[in-house]
Amino acid sequence: MPAPLEGIRVVEIASFVAAPACGAVLADLGADVIKVEVPWGEIYRNSRPRLAGFKSDFPGAPHFQMDNRGKRSLAIDLALPQAVDALAKVIDGADIVLTNMLPGRQAKYGLDPETLLEKHPHLIIARLSGYGPEGEEADAPAFDYSAYWARTGLMDQLHEPDAPPAFQRPGMGDHSAALSLAVGILAALRTRESDGRGQVIDVALQHIGFYIEGNDAAMTLATGQSPPRHDRRQPRNPLWNHYRCGDDRWLFLVMIESDRYWKPFLEAMGRPELAADERFAGAVPRFRNSRELVQELDAVFATRSLEEWTETFRGRRLIWAPVRTVAEAVADPQAQAFGSFPTVDHPEWGEFQTVAPPLRMSGHDMPGVAPAPALGAETFEILNEAGVDGETIALILAAAS
């Protein structure tokens, strides 16, 4: 069976995470993705683990590899007019232009939708921005930390009432946005099959934040109120809460239908007598007396380590999870069984594991193990394919060296 996007060419003019991660998904699906990069390489390419606080001498950027696997690299400096013209020739053969360039820069280089679609009505243009293409902040730079995390209420919401705001981990909003871009592109390819026309797909990091927190945002829109923060000392449902074990590790209970699990949970905890306690005889009484119940459960959880509680709960029909470190989580046998962490055989660095594509298909293998391209490795090949003359190619290569 041919790859779903076999024969589709993508020109990716982007840096950092969200748009390139979308390009990686398209490459996983079989598209020819040309990554357009500055000749000196984007910062993300060079962000090695030690620079992020890891005690490691790994020589490359593992996250850059994940978000740029399977692409070809075109290194050009758009400050050179000949490079702008050469990029236009490359786009002549494309189906999709994927970019996170700000609107002003798009227009400066003739990469805005109006200019591109006038010349190429079939082209699909996928744009990633912080705040969308309209409004006062259409040209404002952003990362997911600012537009997705802080501006949407997520940062304020995800902490205990007396704790400072939570700090987002890298790429959380970006990878959500990447999937949204990919969905839009696939839908646009489908409609183009019937009418031959392309269109513009817009994804804004701020809106992705609202979509990800959609349950809370929908409630706030209907009520005009921010949702109350979770307080583990007095939760609405003590069986939907996290508890400290005797070894200072944590365990998370996620029994949202608390009445269904109440008696089996008490049996596992060794406290069946609490089932007869009128303070806890239903979801509403447990809510009204949640502080007292949390104190009871805190005392019980403190008697055993996380490993001991894991053995206690193992095999029982309860919904819970150990709160793991990332290093523990990536060693999870269940994740290994799913194939979450395939091994890349890199031509320079040897073998290392990475994160697999976000989906599997029974009819198309997506191993996710292709290395990211070396900077500018395919510049000559791509420009030659596009019909750029030899003199211009030599000039661009010289400028990139």
Q: What is the pLDDT of residue 324?
A: 97
Q: What is the pLDDT of residue 174?
A: 98
Q: What is the pLDDT of residue 400?
A: 86
Spatial neighbors of 118 by CB under 8 A, at least 6 apart, are none
C-beta of residue 354 within 8 angstroms of C-beta of residue 361: no
Q: What is the number of other CB atoms lying within 10 angstroms of the CB of residue 171?
A: 20
Chain position carrying tokens 């990686």: 24
Q: What is the pLDDT of residue 106?
A: 96
Arithmetic mean of pLDDT, 378-400? 96
* pTM over cut 0.85: yes
Question: How sure is the predictor about 168, in pLDDT bands with cuts at 50, 70 and 90?
Answer: very high
Give me the amino acid identity at 307: E
Q: What is the pLDDT of residue 149?
A: 98
What are the start-end ranges of the E strands in 46-174? 72-75, 96-99, 124-129
**267-277 burial: b if 16+ Cβ within 10 Å, else e:** ebbeeeebeeb
Mean confidence (pLDDT) of the chain: 97
Question: Parallel, antiparallel, or unpaired for β 250-254 and 240-244?
Answer: antiparallel
Cα–Cα distance, 154 to 145 (Å, whole number): 10
Arithmetic mean of pLDDT, 83-87? 97
Arithmetic mean of pLDDT, 362-377? 97
Q: What are the structural domains, with CATH classification, of the chain?
A: 9-212+333-400 (3.40.50.10540), 240-323 (3.30.1540.10)
Percent of the chain with pLDDT over 90: 99
Q: What is the pLDDT of residue 401?
A: 85
C-beta of residue 59 within 8 angstroms of C-beta of residue 374: no
Q: Say whether pLDDT at 13 is over 90.
A: yes
Which H helix or E strand runs over 322?
A: strand 320-322
Q: What is the number of other CB atoms lying within 10 angstroms of the CB of residue 38?
A: 17
User: What is the SS3 assignment for 306?
Assistant: helix
- 290-344 pLDDT, tens digit each: 999 999 999 999 999 999 999 999 999 999 999 999 999 999 999 999 999 999 9
Question: How sure is the predictor about 85, in pLDDT bands with cuts at 50, 70 and 90?
Answer: very high
The candidate with the shortest Cα–Cα distance to 211, out of 245, 184, 234, is 184
C-beta of residue 14 within 8 angstroms of C-beta of residue 98: yes
Q: What is the pLDDT of residue 388?
A: 98
C-beta of residue 170 within 8 angstroms of C-beta of residue 18: no
Cα–Cα distance, 308 to 304 (Å, whole number): 6
C-beta of residue 73 within 8 angstroms of C-beta of residue 373: yes
Q: What is the pLDDT of residue 1?
A: 81
Q: What is the pLDDT of residue 196?
A: 97
Token pair recorded at residue 342: 């395939």
Q: What is the DSSP string of 17-36?
A: SHHHHHHHHHHHTT-EEEEE
C-beta of residue 139 within 8 angstroms of C-beta of residue 102: yes
Find residue 124's DSSP bridge partners.
Answer: 96
Q: What is the number of other CB atoms lying within 10 angstroms of the CB of residue 320?
A: 19
Token pair recorded at residue 265: 């949970």
User: What is the SS3 assignment for 298?
Assistant: helix
Q: What is the DSSP letter of 153?
A: S
Arithmetic mean of pLDDT, 215-228? 98
Altogether, the residues listed in the chain come to a count of 401
What are the start-end ranges of the E strands in 14-113? 32-37, 72-75, 96-99
